[in-house]
Amino acid sequence: MSISSDQAQHVRRNAVLVHAPEAVNAAVARVAGELNHALRDANPLVLCVMRGALVFAGQLLPQLDFPLEVDVVDVTRYGNTTQGGELVFRALGSVTPVAGRAVLLVDDILDEGVTLAALRDKLLEADAQRVWTAVFAVKDTGRIKPFTADFFGVTVPNRYVFGFGMDVHGYWRNLPAVYALNEG
């Protein structure tokens, strides 16, 4: 569902703050520190899951102090909706070869885990040596997920959240904080 700019403004004005910019920045710095320790000798290929992980990766990568290569994968279950659907791979064939490589998947949110589980499986099928996952947010759904992220920044409630790379109807990825849709 596409919405107008005015509707997007209304969504933002009525949203509930979940994580302020200071908490977001601290979480990114903490994840970077953990990655610097864990992957310092891995020479990984970092795959940014488009479009949601763009902001997280853009702030995370400059804080990593080990050699790495970067590429992107474009996959979605949401499009411009607030409900997950079928997994759509928009671009996977152009990714740097992963056979024999250590791979770090960077994504915006671990919600139900479907997208990251599918990506991890595809990378392992392509003979990646090891696959780590780093997500900015983990949604507390109260349900068991297909796997747990190796690294994560913040936990968010079981609500539709947006900001810091995560969108609502295609808008507000650019916010420096995380918000939840107003359920009222």
Separation CA 16–CA 182 (nearest Å): 6
What is the pLDDT confidence band of residue 147, given thresholds at 50, 70 and 90?
A: confident
Q: Read off the tokens for 126.
A: 């392509």
Q: Which of 107, 108, 111, 167 is catalytic?
A: 111
* Of 96, 103, 107, the residue nearest 153 (C-alpha): 107
Closest CA to 73 of 25, 27, 35, 128: 128
What's residue 93's pLDDT?
Answer: 46
SS3 69: strand
Determine the Cα–Cα distance for residues 140 and 109; give it in Å rounded to an integer.
11
Chain mean pLDDT for the chain: 89
pTM of the predicted model as reported, rounded to 2 decimal places: 0.88
Q: Is domain 5-180 classified as CATH 3.40.50.300?
A: no
Q: What angle do CA 16, 21, 26 make, to 5 degrees?
A: 125
Provide the pLDDT confidence category of residue 2 given band limits of 50, 70 and 90.
Answer: confident
Q: What is the DSSP string of 89-148?
A: EEE-TTSPP-BT-EEEEEEEEESSSHHHHHHHHHHHHTTBSEEEEEEEEEE--SS--S--
Average pLDDT over residues 142-164: 94
The ranges assigned to domains in the chain are 5-180
| pLDDT at 25 (0 to 100) | 98
Look up 127 and say whether it is catalytic: no
Beta pairing class for 45-50 and 102-110: parallel
Average pLDDT, integer, range 141-162 = 93
**Gap between the Cα atoms of 61 and 70, Å rounded:** 9
Mean pLDDT of 13-17: 97
Q: To 5 degrees, how large is the angle CA 91–CA 87–CA 39? A: 65
Dump pLDDT digits (tens) for 154-181: 999 999 999 999 999 999 999 999 999 9
